[in-house]
Structure 1
């Protein structure tokens, strides 16, 4: 992109706005040939048609005839259904953006553009085929067909054309579709081995394997994956790789294929989706430069290799690992806490239904060292109902989100002692939803939440007390409590009959809780303007907590019993 920008900058640039609509309108009204009457038209280097216009197929003739010296052509979001063979006349073109259009195929005439360096096709969701002679684009450096992560994948793309591996200057190949060679187009289909020579790849690479039957997958793809795996080590500039497989392709007995896929140690991001083996390849724990690991829909996986020793790992996400029993740390806690996830900042665990503990070592009650994350900033645990034990997380400073899981890890973290700083003293946001074992939180723990700005609790049916400290929480701006029918108090001193002094409070919402707590809310409302000078809204909704926000204010809705609002 830098080379292209440098090249284009040397030419005179003319901005053409809404040319597509203009040409269409002139053609429709006058039925005459367009004459731009611009002395610079023939020298135009960059043409960008703005989004939102209606594409007229006659435009191809005008563009390809009038603007032969174009270097940059952007025709995105125009509803285009085909690319005219006339495009081959734009011999000087270096940058072609056809993204977010409706073509099902791309004219093979595109391969005549031997100077083309960038081809953008992302968001062309109906596109099924790339040009069969794509190997002629010898100067192509960036081929963008979108990816799942960005939500702009060419989802109907059936295969990669044979010969794409000859484009050894490619630095961007956002996705590679591995197709079944036994189809009627087998002579045109390029296999995974096409990737072996593309050692200049940078950025993200997503590999999608689909439309296979299991037996043909092993026969046709097994050898190729071994070849590709052997060459992954040569891809020194590839920081991110995603592997996405159909769920019926892989069994645990085929794990040796994955074991052979040893990526280069410079890999920074690894995403594996829809993997059905019971164990994961051991090489993942040897990728010392990994920053992000995402494991999703690996439903038979029972445990994963040690990840805690990867020094650069900052984000770990595990989603829908239904068979996961534990996350293996292999006794690192006994060797020294500093080696336990030294850089991890963000941890997400969702829908791991069997997960009970972090490590199998936790089965030993005699452990003398309790593990804790030394730098964890954000923690999200959702629908892990059996997870009652995991390393402590005292350094959280962004957010803690718990839904349909146990409160035990939080309780343990709140009670921990540290000579350096109080646990969770920098936490800004705490959300707890449907925590079935949450009856109360330790007072000493809540006293430490001096930086907390948002406290949201919903559906904790046995929660009886939320003892906010009498000395107040100076940073707390928002309290929302809903569907906690046993909750009777929000203060340490229940006889106080009111909530503590909260100088920064701006919003209080209490919905579907006990009559006792709701009555106190009405009492608080009468004197709150003096005690909470920043308050904007106090809401007490006994039945529904349905409220509508309009222009920054909360407007009365059905089911309301009480509302006090101050603002300017």
Structure 2
């Protein structure tokens, strides 16, 4: 979708409006009109892909006539009037391109789409020949074409408006002659091995889109980037990673006048900033009103004084306040102990991710009424979450808590998240899910009634499945993994080698009165003390998918399993103590898929009895 819009703009199909509307917004409007009228179909918003209806495709081909040609078309296709060529493989591209039959003054577009990154390399000589033959090209799309080196002759394509060199893993540099392309609007270099950008990049005066995402070997940006006044998409801004580069290359001040930037902006290596107050203000992020996603990331920089690091990062983050229109914020590797006040004042924020902020001791008290997703991970110093903080997130639908090693309990405010659908809690070594922040066992529970998916794992303190989980009436998917101390018996008999999940901590049989009737998928993994299936599981009458993995001491499947008449899929892997199935397995009339892997004796038993067991 975005590629299509960029191509439309590069071809000049979208005219510059007289009013305040942005060129890209108009192009997106055209796309939506075509989508609503079924010209396009199967639009996948997350992947930004779509298809053209067969009838529309045939009509478009009829109207285009000989102006468009794909290399698998009939070889006798008349090419004198061909303006646009598409090829779907790198295999012998130049060999299949009939240069002698193409009119050099006519050809405007070459689109290369490959499905095999391991194809033959596109040599510098082949590209030079292509450039020399078709100097009036507007669009050159060489996505994943195994380009190893771009020839200096690229600078002769003075009409070129669109150049895509993304996913060329062997591409390490660009010739300086590329800066002669004064009509170039889009330069896509995503997922390449570039080590530097051309130093004269400021000469690309028409550049609107510069994509350099996942260029892991690119350690800095050249000076002069801030002079590209038309630039409105810059997905990544890389500060000098090494101290030797800090004086000679791009600083935050280069962002000052780039206020047309929209979509996503990721600023990397913020730890290299020295004059934090001046440079953060110079970045002028708050005036970039079309920015939707902001990623701020720190790396490891050579400063040993923790107090200096903490104060520096707190002042830096405070000065990098984004615009109020921001929808998603990611902060990664921040070394401050607290977060700035502006984080509680982003009225349109929908997603927030705080990752590896290891020194953070104080979680911000949000007032983010539109926040739908919150991810918290790698905060080594955080001991508790304020209940008032979570309670205020009235629109929250997804919460992911990962690797908070000092967190001991969940706040009571969690139970007030009435719209929460997905909850994931993993790698929290001191967390006891059964207790509230006052240390009391959570029994009478009426919260999280919208929760449909719960994933818990790597919680050494978890000794039994908390009662509040068993009261989740809307829960559909439950995943329990890697809880080595998981047991269900009381402390008086905790040394018992066998585990019975059908009882509570007082030894009473658990009856959940239909609370798990929405549960349709359960995964139980890496529970070494599990010996039999729990009673609560056998009351999940609508269960469809059951996965039991790496439960070394699981000895039997009970006869009561026949109550799971909705069960369609049963996967059992690496349960070495399980040797046979009960007769009741025959009565699971809905079961269509039974997969057994790594359960030696059980597998042999099934083979010997030819499916009777």
TM range (shorter): 0.7 to 0.9
Residue deviations 1:187-207 (CA, integer Å, cap 9, x gap): 4x1211001111111121111
Equivalent position of 1:314 in the other structure:
372
1:232 paired to 2:285: yes
Return the offset for 1:16. Answer: 4.5
**Aligned counterpart in structure 2 of residue 172 of structure 1, from 233, 249, 254:** 233
Matched, 1:123 2:123: no
SS in 2 for 1:563: helix
Q: TM-score, normalised by structure 1?
A: 0.78
The within-5 A match list for 1:99-498 is 99-101=166-168, 102-125=170-193, 127-146=194-213, 153-179=214-240, 183=244, 186-187=247-248, 189-209=249-269, 212=272, 217-219=273-275, 221-228=276-283, 231-248=284-301, 251-254=309-312, 255-307=314-366, 309-329=367-387, 331=388, 340-359=392-411, 371-388=415-432, 389=435, 393-404=448-459, 406-407=461-462, 411-414=466-469, 423-434=472-483, 436-439=485-488, 440=501, 443-445=510-512, 447-463=514-530, 466-468=534-536, 473-480=541-548, 482-483=550-551, 485=553, 497-498=559-560
Alignment partners' CA distance in 2, 1:122 and 1:538? 41
CA drift of 1:258 comes to: 1.8
What is the CA distance between 1:141 and its match in structure 2? 1.0
- Gap regions ≥5 residues in structure 1: 27-33, 147-152, 334-338, 363-368, 417-422, 492-496, 540-544, 548-556
Q: CA deviation at 1:467?
A: 0.5
In 2, Cα distance between the equivalents of 1:180 and 1:22? 39
Count of aligned pairs: 499
Gaps in structure 2 of 5+ consecutive residues: 14-63, 68-82, 438-446, 489-500, 505-509
How far did residue 402 of structure 1 move? 3.2
Q: 1:39 to 1:533 in 2, by over 3 A?
A: closer
Structure 1 residues 457 and 474, CA, compared in 2 at 3 Å: closer, same or farther?
A: same
Deviation of the 1:21 alpha carbon: 5.2
Distance apart, 1:50 and its partner CA: 4.3
Distance 1:191 1:481 in 2: 51
Cα offset for 1:261? Answer: 2.0
Q: Secondary structure at the match of 2:127?
A: helix
Distance 2:124 2:605 in 1: 61
Partner of 1:56: 123
Displacement after TM superposition at 1:355 (Å): 0.7
C-alpha distance in 2 between matches for 1:144 and 1:562: 57
Partner of 1:494: none
Q: 3-state DSSP class of the match of 1:161?
A: coil
Q: Residue 168 of structure 1: CA displacement?
A: 2.0
In the alignment, is the contact (CA less than 8 A) between 1:430 and 1:452 conserved in 2? no
User: Does the 8 Å contact 2:321/2:342 carry over to 1?
Assistant: yes
Report deviation, 1:9.
7.7
Deviations 1:345-367 (A, max 9, x none): 111111111011344xx6xxxxx
Residue 265 (structure 1) shift: 1.3
Task: Find the residue that maps to 1:294 and give its secondary structure.
Answer: strand
Distance verdict in 2 for CA 1:510–1:96, change over 3 Å: closer
Deviation of the 1:537 alpha carbon: 2.1
| Cα deviation, residue 176, structure 1 | 0.7
Distance of 1:19 and 1:414 partners within structure 2: 52
CA distance in 2, matches of 1:469, 1:312: 36
Deviation at 1:7, TM superposition (A): 5.8
- Give the Å deviation of 1:468: 3.8
> Aligned partners of 1:383, 1:531: CA distance in 2, in Å?
36
CA distance in 2, matches of 1:156, 1:501: 57
Can you list the C-alpha shifts for 1:434-462, whole angstroms capped at 9, x where unaligned? 25244136634483222222222233345
User: Structure 1 residues 109 and 479, CA, compared in 2 at 3 Å: closer, same or farther?
Assistant: closer
SS, match of residue 371 in structure 1: helix
Q: How has the CA–CA distance of structure 1 residues 475 and 21 changed in structure 2, closer, same or farther, with 3 Å as cutoff? A: closer
Contact 1:18-1:53 within 8 A present in 2 as well: no
Deviates more, 1:431-440 or 1:235-244: 431-440
RMSD: 3.4
**1:42 counterpart residue number:** 105
TM-score, length of structure 2 as denominator length: 0.72
Tell me by how many angstroms 1:535 deviates: 4.5
Q: Structure 1 pair 445/278, CA: closer, same or farther in 2 (3 Å)?
A: farther
Rounded Cα–Cα distance in structure 2 between residues aligned with 1:314 and 1:408: 31
